[in-house]
Amino acid sequence: MARLHLFNPDNDIALARDVDNFTPPAAARDIRLAGSTLPMWYGSPGDRFIARGVNALWYDSVESLFSTGIDVIGEASPRIDDFVASPWGWSKASRRDFIRLGMSPALLPDDATLDRLRMLSHRRTASAVVSALGGSLPFAIAPAAVEARDERQIKAFFDSNSAVIAKEPWSCSGRGIIDSRNTSPRRMAERMAAVIRNQGSVMLECAYDKTCDFAVLINCFEGHAVLEGLSLFDTGAGGDYRGNILDSNDGLAARIAEHCDRCRLDALVDALVGVVGREIAPLYDGPVGVDMITTTGCGQPEFALVEINLRMTMGFVARRFYDHHMAEGSVGRYSVTPRQSIISPLPDAIVDSHRLVNGTIPLNPEGHFAFTAEAWRE
């Protein structure tokens, strides 16, 4: 059955608020509006995506070259119940978006399902997965994050660790992260106290010297977990997402292995699929992005699990763009950057048999952010 996609990257904020009538912050609204066309690059032929309207010149240009078979659906489209609702992430707010479009509530998750998913999306799920990995790997990875609910628990963790990263239980894309290495003790304490007031607890991790950001991309369906592939990405100083390398799974594994032991990487990926299959798949259907880092320095673990996203991620977008829309032998980069003006539909792309060989294409027509794919031959 064809899917109806909604790009709602503000969903983690909506999960924290846990209300139907959620209004995203202005910056979140900007990126949501700008990226509304992304589903045409990660969906399947016959799918549709929700948008207020799409620049016809841009859409006709890219569709004629890439033949995605995915089109926009209007706000008053008939037979909307013929589609499976497929948001970037589920929450009460995203369910409301589909209802407003005219989809029957009976076809959407009920409150109990959404409450369960919200609790699974809490960062303590990552801690549970790390603990479960301990019995699945022949080597150690970084310890699980600790959940603190009061000042006493925070002090005990700081007394045992010289550098600490504190995280909001529900947050995304590098937001809601406080690093003691670049935050004053007073400001750190104020922000952690605010997180506890707003979300009930704060997650505490030892800070490591990172050498590589990567993710393991897994799909859960009917109680089973299946590996889709890998994601190799980079972030800014504050942990904000910048972009992904576009390459085959083997190519990405080789790049990640420049920072770690390849056999251990393969074992880690296999173990993660198994643990996600046991811990998450019985309770959730959909994409799971497991964010990892490699570290360096004496006494530091080779790997640390830093986040689990029970939703679509930019890593999935990059993985599927490469698999569906790039020519064999080409590699490249997918990036998200601020932009204030409209750019031409196809600046310098070379496309053969509906696949990008070389050059740059915009994955959205206009807006405050540019989603861009660039390809070249190595």
Q: Where are the domains of the chain?
A: 3-117+316-377, 122-142+208-310, 146-206
pLDDT of 180 higher than 80: yes
Percent of the chain with pLDDT over 70: 95
pLDDT of 76 higher than 90: no
Confidence of residue 235 (pLDDT cuts 50, 70, 90): confident
How much is the average pLDDT of 115-126? Answer: 96
The confidence score (pLDDT) of residue 341 equals 57
How much is the average pLDDT of 168-176? Answer: 76
Q: What is the CATH number of domain 146-206?
A: 3.30.1490
The per-residue pLDDT of the chain, averaged, comes to 92
Q: Hey, do 122-142+208-310 and 146-206 end up sharing a CATH topology, with the first three levels equal?
A: no
Beta-strand relationship, 355-362 and 369-377 = antiparallel
Confidence of residue 77 (pLDDT cuts 50, 70, 90): low
How much is the average pLDDT of 155-175? Answer: 87
Cα–Cα distance, 184 to 66 (Å, whole number): 50
Beta-strand relationship, 224-235 and 210-221 = antiparallel
How much is the average pLDDT of 303-310? Answer: 95
Tokens 């859960």 map to which residue? Answer: 220
The confidence score (pLDDT) of residue 78 equals 62
pLDDT tens, residue by residue, 238-266:
667 889 999 999 999 999 999 999 999 99
Q: Are 103 and 80 in contact (CB under 8 A)?
A: yes
How much is the average pLDDT of 19-30? Answer: 89
pLDDT of 83 higher than 90: yes
Percent of the chain with pLDDT over 90: 80
Confidence of residue 112 (pLDDT cuts 50, 70, 90): very high
The domain made up of 122-142+208-310 is a member of CATH 3.30.750: no
The confidence score (pLDDT) of residue 79 equals 80
pLDDT of 340 higher than 80: no
pLDDT tens, residue by residue, 85-109:
999 999 999 999 999 989 999 999 9
pLDDT of 172 higher than 70: no
The confidence score (pLDDT) of residue 224 equals 97
pLDDT of 373 higher than 90: yes
pLDDT of 58 higher than 70: yes
pTM of structure: 0.94
Q: Which of 97, 151, 108, 126 is nearest to 279 (CA)?
A: 126
How much is the average pLDDT of 23-50? Answer: 93
Cα–Cα distance, 5 to 15 (Å, whole number): 19
pLDDT tens, residue by residue, 257-301:
999 999 999 999 999 999 999 999 999 999 999 999 999 887 889
Q: Are 14 and 90 in contact (CB under 8 A)?
A: no
CA–CA–CA angle 282, 285, 288 (5° rounding):
100
pLDDT tens, residue by residue, 342-360:
555 566 889 999 999 999 9
The strands making up 146-148's β-sheet, listed across from edge to edge, are 146-148, 202-206, 164-167, 177-179
